[in-house]
Chains A and B, each alone.
Chain A
Amino acid sequence: MTSDIYKDIILDYYRNPRNFGDLENPDVRAKDSNPLCGDIIEMQLKVNDGKVDDIRFKGKGCAISQASASMLTEMVKGKTLDQVKAMGKPDILQLLGIDPGPTRIKCALLGLKVLKLAAYGYLGQKITEEVRQLV
């Protein structure tokens, strides 16, 4: 149900996004948009020893896209880039605690796509079809 999407925690992350803004001298940054909503997310990462040392995001868009990106930044701090590469839709659903439905899931997945773009970019690896198809 939709009302569940807009439960307090998501509105809270939307109103008071954690890890919002810029990093000084990030090691890698990535950006993408969702053509449906016009949502935009940028992620900036500091990488140390193959792990996400610090992370910030910036963006504009609906509550689902911005809140899930913010929640994601908290979740991945300290994780290895390989762990980031292995993440998928189930991780985001678990993070949100609800399924926003077939249309709005695109909004929820944008942050993950951008994060993965950053990981692949840092590692100098080719973006996989799976990442391209996320949103």
Chain B
Amino acid sequence: MVEKTTTTINVAKIREDFPILKRQVNDKPLIYFDNAATTQKPNIVIDTIARYYREHNANIHRGIHKLAEEATVAHEEAREKLAKFINAKRSEEIIFTRNGTEAINLVAYAWGRANISKGDKIVLTIMEHHSNIVPWQLLVEEKGAEVQFIKINEDGTLRQNEIQEQIDGRTKIVCVTHASNVLGTINPVKEIGRIAHRNGAIFLVDAAQSVPHMAVDVRDIDCDFAAFSGHKMLGPTGIGVLYGKSENLRAMPPFLGGGEMIKEVHTTGSSWKELPYKFEAGTPNIAGAIGLGAAVDYLRGIGMRNVHDYEKEITGYALDKMGRVGGLVLYGPRDVEHRVGVISFNLGDIHAHDLASILDEEGIAIRSGHHCAQPLMEFLNIPAASRASFYIYNTKEEVDVFITALEKARKLFAR
């Protein structure tokens, strides 16, 4: 039984679309609360990938034969779907990568190596995922530049004064996560982008935790780059997206060199294809892109406003219940208007990994550890945290089972 909700989303019907949700784990129905790490896949995505391999498989772009043509059309249709989904101006502004990490590395490598020099500053925030820290550290080490971190308030929001102070004339790029994968905080990216641009800096948004969960409009945010992963939005692994304004992408040198990305190759030198192909060297993840296109269709069918509203509802419900568990410490904003459905917490002195093991026994999948955000964990002064993260197929009833399991763990360790 699924509890009736006030939103228009039909969770019972949605659950029918996800075959894995019928699984038992340790003889209990699977409760999958690890959606910030990766989401489950609906039949439409699984079937689309299988159909591609069964009926259309061919290498794209250069082939003249029928299959190559079909595969190319499907691959490019997926690009158009992604462009519409985030409201990019043109589909050439969608570069397919392996994942969000590769998308950020592409910018750090291709844009960064051409535009960052000694004494320049790159501004990040303390809540960034390692994927939006390490590529910039590699870059500044090579160039003799500097990375600065905007820190957070008690409530898990960015410090307004540090945004204003750190982004200055020396800042060449500002890279900020749209929604934190630990705190759930939704950052005011539009405002930060304005400050970055006023100081002549480029603005990159890590949208890995926002694009899957809310309507994201890259033109409204006015970011120069945005990066996200397919597998966190019902798509397959191995496919991610870099959005970039065409003028920025055109001005950048290539990232990886090889086939698919060249116009002409001679022993004396080579020239590059137009966007987006300049940044897509080698045979791409064709099935992955097409599968991600199917995921976008599925999400659009539900409506991103409905997705966001439902997640706010279940997150609010969970925050309220978790707040009443003795000894449970919550991290991040309390107001569901300012956060996504990612809830990090610690329960008494139980180590996050012990808690994850106990919940696993109840069939509940949560994540535990540093969540690829060690600078944030250091700032919070905690070695690890547990994290429950929700998506459209989770129910309040599952949250109730989760709360009961937390109480059980608390009693077990209270002995």
| Interface set of A (CB-CB < 8 Å, partner B) | 1-3, 5-6, 8, 11, 36-38, 60-64, 100, 104, 107
Chain B residues with Cβ under 8 A from A1's Cβ?
26, 361
The answer to whether B238 has its CB under 8 Å from any CB of chain A is: no
A63 close to B351 (CB less than 8 A): yes
A6 close to B383 (CB less than 8 A): no
Chain A residues with Cβ under 8 A from B354's Cβ?
6, 62-64
The answer to whether B379 has its CB under 8 Å from any CB of chain A is: no
The answer to whether B313 has its CB under 8 Å from any CB of chain A is: no
Chain B residue at smallest Cβ distance from A38: B383
**How large, as a class, is the contact surface on chain B?**
10 to 19
Instruction: Tell me the complex Cα distance, A100–B360, Å.
Output: 12
Chain A residues with Cβ under 8 A from B358's Cβ?
2-3, 6
The answer to whether B15 has its CB under 8 Å from any CB of chain A is: no
The answer to whether B54 has its CB under 8 Å from any CB of chain A is: no
Inter-chain pairs besides A36-B353, A63-B354, 12 sampled, C-beta below 8 Å: A1-B26, A2-B357, A3-B358, A6-B354, A6-B358, A11-B415, A37-B351, A38-B383, A60-B383, A62-B353, A63-B413, A64-B354
Chain B residues with Cβ under 8 A from A62's Cβ?
351-354
Chain A residue at smallest Cβ distance from B27: A1
B361 close to A2 (CB less than 8 A): yes
B353 close to A107 (CB less than 8 A): yes
The answer to whether B412 has its CB under 8 Å from any CB of chain A is: yes
Chain B residues with Cβ under 8 A from A5's Cβ?
357
Instruction: Tell me the complex Cα distance, A126–B137, Å.
Output: 33
Q: How far is the CB of B255 from chain A (nearest CB, A)?
A: 28
Chain B residue at smallest Cβ distance from A3: B361
Chain B residues with Cβ under 8 A from A107's Cβ?
353
- Counting from the closest, the 5 A-B pairs by CB-CB distance are A62-B351, A2-B361, A62-B353, A63-B354, A62-B354
